[in-house]
Amino acid sequence: MTTITDVRREVIVAGTPQRAFDLFTKRMGEWWPAEHHLATSPVVAITVEPQIGGRLYDTCEDGSQSVWGQVTEWDPPAGFTFAWMINGTWQLESDVEKASRVTVTFAAEGDRTRVTVVHKDFWRMSEGGQGMADAVGAADGWGAGLTKFAEFAGS
Amino acid sequence: MVTYGTVLDSLADPTRRDVLDLVRRKPSSVQEIADQLPISRPAVSQHLKILKDAGVVTSHPVGTRRVYTVTTDGFEVLRQWLDVMWRDALSAFAAFADNQPNDSGANQ
């Protein structure tokens, strides 16, 4: 089957790796682009349970929870890995083995921290990967909304 | 050009996602799909039309039947989309982190 190259992105932020790790995992709901939620109700919080097997989930205004990840490696402040548990039709993929992986690392760079995201292991999605690929459509349709969020978050 | 919004709209309906799931598992005709779902044949046709307009499925004739399949060239689209998602997510994170007091999160 087709191999998808890993997605790799990085950014430098102020402060130590420990600070960045904590802001990233404990306050995700405050910075995660609002447009990128699968939940139908407005999201009021994002929780990252700080341990292997821990869930990543949205808590919605109506009280419901929407799980979209599961921690597979937990090594603060160096980094963590989670299964991105979304399948080809934007539903929860309950089988961790069929979920792609996202690794986030935090490395000191002088008095700042380099945050690197690698989204990988797309082969795990097997048949679901194709459906998802079809489902996501054009990239430019997505970017506009997130740019707005970045402006908002930075203000 | 099919946009992200068009695709998401096409998947907003739960029945339509069921239709897509069946097509994804096995290329199918309208009748084969209707046999497996509690909806009429015309309803299946309508859902397939919307999925097809969104570029999620395509169809081709096999003998006297028309068979629907998921489109096959989307892997790179997925990758590009995730690339944009993480670029913007990290950008938002950096803006957030740089605007927090130094003593937030953990010790400096």
Q: What's residue B11's pLDDT?
A: 65
Give the number of beta-carbon pairs within 8 Å between A and B: 193
Q: What's residue B14's pLDDT?
A: 76
Chain B contact for A35, CB < 8 A?
A: no
> Does the distance separating the beta carbons of B89 and A19 come in below 8 Å?
no
* B48 within 8 A of B19, measured Cβ to Cβ: yes
User: Cα separation of A149 and A154, whole Å?
Assistant: 8
Chain B contact for A147, CB < 8 A?
A: yes
> For residue B9, is it within any domain?
yes
pTM: 0.63
- The domain limits of chain A are 7-154
> For residue B107, is it within any domain?
no
At B60, which CATH number? 1.10.10.10
* B70 within 8 A of B78, measured Cβ to Cβ: no
What is the three-class DSSP state of A141? helix
**What are B33's two structure tokens?**
């799909």
| CATH numeric code, A7-154 | 3.30.530.20
> For residue B86, is it within any domain?
no
A9 closest CA partner among A128, A103, A134, A133:
A103
Q: What's residue A137's pLDDT?
A: 36
- Residue B46 belongs to domain spanning: 4-70
Reported as type and span, the H/E element at residue A66 is strand A65-75
> For residue B14, is it within any domain?
yes
> For residue B82, is it within any domain?
no
Residues of B in contact with A91 (CB under 8 A): 17
> Does the distance separating the beta carbons of A136 and B106 come in below 8 Å?
no
Phi then psi dihedrals of residue B44, to 5 deg: -60, -45
> For residue B85, is it within any domain?
no
> For residue B52, is it within any domain?
yes
> For residue B88, is it within any domain?
no
- Gyration radius (Cα) of chain A, Å: 16
What is the three-class DSSP state of B107? coil
Other beta carbons within 10 Å of A147: 17
Search chain B and give the residue with CA nearest A121.
B79
Look at chain B and report how many structural domains it folds into.
Answer: 1
pLDDT, tens digit (0-9, with 9 covering 90-100), for B58-69 = 899 988 889 998
pLDDT, tens digit (0-9, with 9 covering 90-100), for B13-46 = 778 878 887 887 788 999 999 999 999 999 999 9
